[in-house]
A = this chain, B = another copy of it.
Amino acid sequence: MNHKALLLAALTTVLGACSSFSPEPLRATGDMGVIIERATGSVQIINTSDKAPIGQVNDLGDLSHASIVFSRDERFAYVFGRDGGLSKIDMLTQSIDQRIIQSGNSIGGAISQDGSLVAVSNYSPGGVKVFDSETLELVADIPASQVFDPRSKAKKGSKVVGLVDAPGQKFVFSLFDSDEIWIADFSAGKEQAPKLTKFDQVGRQPYDALISSDGRYYIAGLFGEDGMALVDLWHPEKGSKKILPNYGKGEKKLPVYKMPHLEGWAIAGNYAFVPAVGQHKVLVIDLNSWQQVGSIDVHGQPVFVMARPDGRQVWVNFAFPNNDTLQVIDVEAQQVAHTLVPGKGVLHMEFTPRGEHLWVSVRDLNRVNIYDTTTFEVLEQFSAESPSGIFFTSRAHRIGL
């Protein structure tokens, strides 16, 4: 090869290498989010300013029931999959940073107050596992109470549900089979075993839970009886107590997978708006007294009841077969102000943090709708494969999310 050709080859090689360093346009993370595509083990990465998807990540396993929390800087989304997969997705490179299979069957997760720990609540084996949020190394393994399982005729760990983070570097969760609520306190640091506080006989079969937005009250729904269990996390010494004794009473029993999701308690002002059980109603609870003070007739069995960030509206979706509809409750009037019909399979919804838009997954139409929450018009729509959960990065800054 002559010298000119050699030079040209060298330059071409170097420039080829060079281009792999050409900078991607810089992107901030405050207006991003993730949408679960539940049938294909994938997620869409979205941008709320663009009102559009901007990327996709695949190979995330079984996402038929999945949830997400974000790292404190909003860089990473931790995806908790039904198959026990825990995937750490890099929002900026739109790729899997790390992925582990941490159990056989899992239902959800949480991130600690300071962002250093990610906890996962497992059905099988029953318990909670806690990981370093950066490396996904196992930090703690908290087996649940052993209970006799009639099917296998052996003892096994209780299924764990309703896992949330709480102030003071704590995780709080419920044990479905042993009727307990536990607090795991990691404030001594991840090198130490967590300090466990256990509440027993909280009520029969806690199946889900929520934490109030200030992180004070942990409330578990009971599947095996009417009412709910409450723990005041400022006063654990007072134990758990039952509230709303009539919640669920007197109606035909729903299967547990149709029970309302407690993420969907909408707190607006002094009231909580709560899905009734086995009735086509949203209940109004006074947060000072924990008494039901009203109810609002709605289109079907409510699943999620979500307050707009300014607390002026509460939006409701419904269980099959009425799952093509969304209703908007006017909080002041305590009645339905608007009904929308996006289509079959309205599974989940998420407000932009200042409340101007609502994103809605319409699974059976393979579509996501974006609504203006003042005019109720559809601003944008785009395709997604069997979309379910929608999670925005603003959750990184909120207790319990």
* B-binding residues in A (CB < 8 A): 3, 6-7, 10-11, 14-15, 17-18, 21-24, 26-32, 48-49, 70-75, 91-93, 113-115, 167-169, 187, 214-216, 234, 269-270, 288, 309-312, 332, 353-356, 374, 393-394, 396-399
A353 CA to B73 CA, complexed, in Å: 11
Contacts of A7 on B, CB cut-off 8 Å? 3, 6-7, 10
With A30-B75, A399-B355 in contact, is A21–B24 under 8 Å at CB? no
Bound: A178/B19 CA distance, A: 61
Q: What are 28 A-B residue pairs whose CB atoms fall within 8 Å in the complex?
A: A3-B7, A10-B10, A11-B11, A14-B15, A17-B18, A18-B18, A21-B23, A26-B93, A28-B28, A28-B29, A29-B29, A30-B72, A30-B75, A30-B396, A30-B397, A31-B72, A48-B72, A49-B73, A72-B354, A74-B74, A167-B309, A167-B354, A167-B355, A168-B374, A169-B356, A216-B312, A234-B332, A354-B399
A167 vs B3: C-alpha distance when bound (angstroms)? 68
Q: Which residues of B contact A113 (CB under 8 A)?
A: 354-356
Pairwise interchain contact A74-B311, C-beta atoms closer than 8 A = no
CB-defined contacts of A15 to chain B, threshold 8 Å: 14, 18
In whole angstroms, how far apart are the Cα atoms of A14 and B73 in the complex?
36
**In whole angstroms, what is the CA distance A393 to B396 when docked?**
12
Interface of A (DSSP majority class)? loop
Query: How far is A216 from B313 in the complex, measured between Cα atoms in Å?
Result: 12
Across the interface, name the chain B residue whose C-beta is closest to A375: B187
Q: Are the CB atoms of B312 and A167 closer together than 8 Å?
A: yes
